[in-house]
């Protein structure tokens, strides 16, 4: 990740999710701890971070490659300081959500899918060639 742009947190059911945009790869990176905090319905970020650390270790022990797709970037913490935080793409988070038993799992998956869809629309609006390629043909198929 070469050039990142910090973006305001997005809200999921009034809970902030910190994020950063990597302009080089045109990828959104979301705070894993924020997602875990919502999934575990924890009001305390410290408890959510400990849950994530335990889950991360369990996934490593199982041989899951999921953790290798997480990176660390500096995000603004609750105390206002920039701290290294585990981040992941929406695709990786969708896989991670399946590892956490939670009634919030399905709503988070739908929210992440919506984020991905919105990004695809942004790309299409920025690039007319992409827009034409994604347009349905007369038979209703995507080109």
- 43-59 residue pLDDT tens: 888 999 999 999 999 99
Q: Against a cut of 0.85, is the pTM above it?
A: no
pLDDT value of residue 127:
66
Question: Which residues of the chain fall below pLDDT 70?
Answer: 1-4, 6, 119-120, 123-124, 127-143
CB 84 within 8 A of CB 71: no
pLDDT value of residue 141:
46
First to last CA, the chain: 31
Q: Which residue has the tokens 């009001």?
A: 43
Mean confidence (pLDDT) of the chain: 83
pLDDT value of residue 128:
61
Nearest to 38 by CA among 96, 123, 122: 96
pLDDT value of residue 98:
86
């Amino acid at each position: 990740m070469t050039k990142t742009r910090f973006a305001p947190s997005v809200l999921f059911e009034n809970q902030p999710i910190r994020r950063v945009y990597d302009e080089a790869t045109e990828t959104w990176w979301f705070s894993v701890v924020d997602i875990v905090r919502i999934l575990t319905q924890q009001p305390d970020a410290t408890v959510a971070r400990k849950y994530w650390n335990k889950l991360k270790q369990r996934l490593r022990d199982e041989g899951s490659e999921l953790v290798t797709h997480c990176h660390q970037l500096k995000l603004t913490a609750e105390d206002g300081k920039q701290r290294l935080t585990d981040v992941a793409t929406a695709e990786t988070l969708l896989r991670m959500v399946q590892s956490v038993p939670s009634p919030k799992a399905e709503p988070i998956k739908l929210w992440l899918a919506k984020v991905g869809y919105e990004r695809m629309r942004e790309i299409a609006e920025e690039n007319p060639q992409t827009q034409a390629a994604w347009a349905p043909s007369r038979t209703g198929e995507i080109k």
